[in-house]
Amino acid sequence: MAPRRLGPAERLYRARRIGTTFGRIYLGIKTNQFIARRLGPRDMDERWSRLHQTSAESIYDAAVELRGMILKGCQFLGARADLLPPQYVNVLSRLQDRVPPRSFPVARRTVERELGAPLEDVFAAFSRRPIASASLAQVHDARLHDGRRVAVKVQYPEIGALVRSDLSNLKALFRAVGWLEPDVDLMPLVDELSSHVPLELDFVNEARNAERMAELLAHRDDVVVPEIVWECTSRRVLCMEFIEGIKITDTDALRREGTDTDALLRLLVETWCEQILYHGFFHADPHPGNLLVQPEGPRLVLLDFGLAKNLPARFREQIVAFGAAIIGGDAEAIVDAFVDLGFETRDGRHESLVEVARFALAFAQRARAGGWEEARTFARWNEELGEQVRRNPIVRIPSHVVLIGRVMGLLSGVSKSLGSRIDLLPVVLPWVMGMKRSAPVHQPAPPPA
């Protein structure tokens, strides 16, 4: 049984559903712009806020209905505070847990097709009900004939066709927006989705990412990455060691087990500092479902490496230059650091970044005065930077910086759930300044198979 293809009627329905949803939002924006320009009512801010809220909810409803690429894309957009007003970010970030699973017969057919054998020949036991489901796949608890307990990630059979169809629809829609609004360029969003999502559909790529991360973090006894079972893994089925743990946001269970949440938060932040600022390769999707805790220690269990990112070789050097410019209070040096990091402006002139540089200085001064006692400080930076970017004619923030901002937002949410208020600056600063280890390893990505 080959992966399901979309029929013409389904493709047409999805195109119409996407088009009408975004068409209504576009008309609402143009209406508000007309009202603001011609009438200038005092409640214009409230009007925009209501429009953004209702628009975000309509996108949310479409994503839950259509699932597939639209759902995955909206999850990604939910972290784009640099492009979208906060109403969109708040609503779309709720999509992570709204994915109903497929039936057991569908999962069985996928596993048997991918592994080329009856399910019972490969697994001694295989749960009929998945233990987790996400936008692209669901996970089943299983046991191999040699007794090993494993987690089996099974891709939805129609997801490849949905991705191709939805990418085509989004490209057509965003080209039309660009034609109607020459100052609005949404194509970079489609380009990012086109590069990220197909990689997440390749479970062999995810397995390689997991093995690479396990190797890079092998010196740590407080971080665990499941071992891959290659003989039961393919492009659409991923089999890995089953590791027990408590979901990182299940604070009641963590407290019952006596987990030191301050130590856990330090471990969480330090683990990502090491990935980003030392190895130059990081897990870019640390939402709570991908993070488990083993209370003794505590130990952190990392899951789901479908979205992992290599950083430019000079990234830590660029971050150090940015930090030095902030400490020195030098706005021009901050602009230079932004440019070196890959920020681009619509007119190609650096002057457009001056306001963002001034914001960075003001934020740093506020943070120093108020203390860096919680991860929420770093999330506020991400949120307020996004607001500044939307107010200035910046065309593009490099994708790796966007993903790091997304990581900051996700880790901030985890920090809030843990209720910890520790000073994170002493945790982060040694990694930024390169003092934690002798020199960045920065290993290149392995060649494709």
Token reading at 294 = 């083993």
Q: Are 378 and 429 in contact (CB under 8 A)?
A: no
CA distances from 316 to 145, 244, 277, 289, 333 (A): 46, 34, 6, 28, 16
| CA dihedral for 425, 426, 428, 432, sign (positive or negative) | positive
Catalytic residue flag (residue 43): no
> Residues near 283 by Cβ (< 8 Å), separated by ≥ 6?
213, 272, 275, 290, 302, 305, 307, 308, 407
Q: Name residue 290's amino acid.
A: N
| CA dihedral for 364, 410, 52, 393, sign (positive or negative) | positive
> Residues near 399 by Cβ (< 8 Å), separated by ≥ 6?
192, 195, 309
Give the angle subtended at the CA of 125 by the CAs of 127 and 115, to the nearest 5°.
90
Count of CB atoms situated within 10 Å of the CB of 412:
20
The residues pairing with 241 across neighbouring beta strands, listed in sequence order, are 150
Q: Are 364 and 377 in contact (CB under 8 A)?
A: no
Stretch (H or E) spanning 274? helix 261-274
Q: Are 243 and 292 in contact (CB under 8 A)?
A: yes
Would strands 223-224 and 299-302 be described as parallel, antiparallel, or unpaired? parallel
DSSP secondary structure code for residue 278 in this structure: I
Catalytic annotation, pick one of 43, 146, 262, 285: 285
User: Which residue spans within 217-328 are E strands per DSSP?
Assistant: 223-224, 237-241, 246-247, 281-283, 291-294, 299-302, 308-310
Length of the chain: 449
- End-to-end CA distance of the chain: give it in Å, rounded: 25
Tell me the angle at which helices 376-391 and 399-418 cross, rounded to the nearest 10 degrees. Answer: 140
Active site residues: 285
